């Protein structure tokens, strides 16, 4: 556990991806195989289930530390993280022992089988044998909220470095319903996977944003199409089977069962690049419809009916087993058109149509219509460009529509987490509904560090009420909120939900009385929902 705590410290102390990957690679190269396996499991969401309620942990920690409940609760609200608060208030360990990560995870799993009195005894005994940082991690495992600030993708990159295996092969190996109880390091990582090459996606080519495409030169050199608002993916047909990968290199085949029928229409050795879209009556349903399916590994029939998915194809990366990425885009596109012309209309695949234009001004007019088409804007691709890997500047550009905005009043504030635990960074915003303020969204990004510090100091002086970690504040500050979309929502008091809300700026120049209204939001909903 000391080694795992040291890994956590290295990761937590840096914001640099290279440092985090190096720390993980070092750990995975020397840790015990069982601990390595559990580390991978934790990073891929295979955490132990919550073993003890937060209420009990707070009670036990206050008792062991000798603090009155009110003082522990105040400490918790200042720190902002229960696991960290407990690790800080407990007395020094009486009998520190260096047990493995897998030992402590086994302890956590065993707690679920114990009566509450025995569970309390076991937790207190564990606290008494762990140093502060190790206690923090043990508490995270107890609450089921373990996160280390590193994505599964970065973990896989570190694993590739430590094992010398290809990253895409490892990504495939880590998919599925495995747990450390059902496999071993040898079986999961070291053993050869003969199907990995058949399912492997190509690295995705990503576009850069452009503000004024007129700088790109002659419009005749460029192809334009809609920027679809879905999940970027690749559809792979190889070896008699098919695979669906997301841009985040997540294997999503089982989540989109309707795409299985494409294997009947596409020849073996085909790889399509495109977008997964909720689609009905020859039009996208919007990201909100697709969102119902995100995270569902088994999709019920009702959801399949309500949000049918198609693959909107816009590039052909492989045909008849041949890699086409160095072929000019226009030629790849011609082959894609020919391929899909042979596919029946009822199949769940569509061709992303070209948007014809003869001037950048004409294309700008098309861009303004994007929201009416349920798209994010336009993609602009050089006709003679190869398909590159990663975000390369020059050949592929995205020209998104400007975000929607509304001026709103901050009414609640909550502390952030991690390095932001001592700052109020998460806010709830409201708009006027008659004489009342109606909450409609939360946002936690978009301001500078200096602004967050300024607001934090103000919140501490102007709190009206406390609700656990949340503070109700005087409604005096107006913020411009930017968002990408709006839809009706029965779960929100306002009746609307925003997509990707963030703070565009702090409107110190605007009085609260001039903030927008619920009627303004409903008007946006009618236009863009």
Assigned domain for 172 exists: no
238 with 384, same domain: the answer is yes
Winning range, highest mean pLDDT, from 37-46, 182-191, 355-364:
355-364
Q: What is the pLDDT of residue 527?
A: 83
Assigned domain for 175 exists: no
Assigned domain for 326 exists: yes
CATH assignment of the domain containing 248: 3.30.470.30
Nearest in space to 529 (alpha carbons), one of 363, 445, 368, 404 = 404
223 with 311, same domain: the answer is yes
Q: What is the pLDDT of residue 511?
A: 95
- Retrieve residue 53's tokens: 């309620």
pLDDT digits (tens, 9 = 90+) for 189-210: 988 766 666 888 888 999 999 9
396 with 409, same domain: the answer is no
| Domain housing 392 | 205-400
| Residue 297, pLDDT above cutoff 70 | no
262 with 313, same domain: the answer is yes
Provide the number of structural domains found in the chain: 3
Q: Which of 116, 143, 170 is the last residue of a domain?
A: 143
Q: What is the pLDDT of residue 212?
A: 92
Q: Considering the chain, what percentage of its residues have pLDDT values greater than 90? A: 59
| Residue 175, pLDDT above cutoff 70 | no
Name the average pLDDT for the chain.
90
Q: Which stretch of 255-259, 280-284, 321-325 has the lowest confidence by average pLDDT?
A: 280-284
Q: Which of 125, 143, 161 is the last residue of a domain?
A: 143
Assigned domain for 264 exists: yes
Assigned domain for 187 exists: no
Assigned domain for 162 exists: no
pLDDT digits (tens, 9 = 90+) for 420-457: 778 899 999 999 999 999 999 999 999 998 999 999 99
Q: Are 398 and 207 in contact (CB under 8 A)?
A: yes
Assigned domain for 198 exists: no
DSSP assignment of 108-147, as one string? HHHHTTS-HHHHHHHHHHHHTTS-HHHHHHHHHHHHT---
Q: Looking at residue 346, what DSSP letter applies?
A: T
Core vs surface per residue 180-215: b (16+ CB within 10 A) or e: beeeebeebbeeeeeebebbbbbebbebeebeebee
Q: Which stretch of 63-67, 290-294, 326-330 has the lowest confidence by average pLDDT?
A: 290-294
45 with 22, same domain: the answer is yes
CATH assignment of the domain containing 43: 1.10.3260.10
* Cα dihedral 82, 83, 86, 89 in deg (nearest 10): -100
Assigned domain for 161 exists: no
pTM flag (> 0.75): no
411 with 304, same domain: the answer is no
Q: What is the pLDDT of residue 260?
A: 94
350 with 422, same domain: the answer is no
394 with 483, same domain: the answer is no
- Retrieve residue 214's tokens: 């007129």
| Residue 148, pLDDT above cutoff 70 | no
């Amino acid at each position: 556990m000391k080694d795992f705590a040291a890994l956590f410290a290295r990761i937590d102390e840096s914001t640099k991806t290279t440092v985090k990957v190096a720390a993980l690679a070092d750990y995975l190269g020397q840790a015990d195989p069982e601990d390595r396996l559990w580390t991978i499991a934790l990073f891929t969401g295979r955490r132990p289930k919550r073993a003890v309620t937060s209420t009990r942990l707070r009670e036990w920690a206050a008792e062991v530390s000798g603090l009155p409940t009110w003082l522990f609760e105040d400490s918790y609200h200042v720190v902002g993280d229960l696991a960290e608060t407990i690790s800080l208030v407990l007395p020094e360990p009486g009998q520190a022992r260096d047990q493995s990560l897998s030992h402590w995870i086994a302890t956590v799993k065993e707690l679920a089988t114990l009566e509450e009195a025995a569970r309390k005894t076991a937790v207190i005994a564990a606290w008494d044998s762990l140093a502060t940082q190790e206690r923090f991690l043990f508490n995270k495992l107890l609450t089921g909220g373990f996160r280390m600030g590193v994505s599964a993708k970065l973990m896989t990159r570190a694993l590739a470095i430590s094992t010398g295996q290809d990253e895409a092969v490892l990504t495939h190996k880590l998919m599925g319903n495995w747990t450390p109880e059902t496999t071993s390091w040898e079986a999961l990582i070291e053993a050869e996977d003969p199907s990995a090459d058949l399912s492997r996606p190509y690295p995705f080519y990503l576009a850069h944003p452009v503000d004024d495409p007129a700088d790109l030169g002659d419009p005749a050199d460029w192809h334009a199409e809609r920027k679809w608002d879905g999940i970027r993916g690749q559809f792979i047909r190889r070896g008699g089977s098919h695979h669906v990968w997301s841009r985040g290199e997540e294997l999503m085949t089982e989540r989109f069962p309707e795409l299985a029928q494409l294997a009947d229409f596409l020849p073996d050795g085909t790889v399509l690049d495109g977008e997964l879209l909720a689609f009905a009556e020859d039009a996208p349903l919007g990201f909100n419809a697709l969102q119902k399916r995100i995270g569902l590994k088994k999709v019920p029939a009702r959801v399949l009916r309500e949000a049918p998915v198609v693959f909107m194809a816009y590039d052909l990366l492989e045909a008849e087993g041949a890699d086409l990425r160095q072929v000019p885009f226009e030629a790849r596109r011609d082959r894609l058109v020919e391929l899909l012309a042979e596919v029946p209309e009822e199949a769940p695949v569509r061709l992303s149509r070209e948007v014809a234009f003869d001037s950048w001004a004409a294309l700008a007019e098309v861009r303004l219509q994007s929201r009416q088409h349920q798209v994010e804007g336009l993609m602009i691709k050089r006709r003679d460009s190869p398909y590159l890997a990663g975000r390369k500047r020059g050949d592929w550009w995205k020209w998104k529509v400007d975000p929607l905005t509304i001026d709103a009043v901050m009414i609640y504030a909550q502390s952030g987490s991690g390095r932001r635990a001592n700052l109020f960074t998460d806010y709830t915003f409201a708009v006027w509904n008659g004489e009342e303020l109606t909450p409609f969204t939360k946002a936690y990004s978009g301001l500078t560090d200096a602004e967050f510090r300024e607001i934090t100091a103000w919140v501490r002086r102007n709190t009206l009420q406390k609700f656990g970690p949340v503070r109700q504040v005087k409604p005096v500050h107006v913020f411009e909120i930017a968002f990408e979309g709006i839809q009706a929502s029965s779960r929100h008091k306002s009746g609307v939900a925003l997509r990707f809300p963030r703070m565009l700026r702090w409107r110190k120049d605007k009085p609260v009385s001039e903030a927008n209204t619920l009627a303004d939001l409903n008007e946006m909903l009618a236009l863009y929902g």
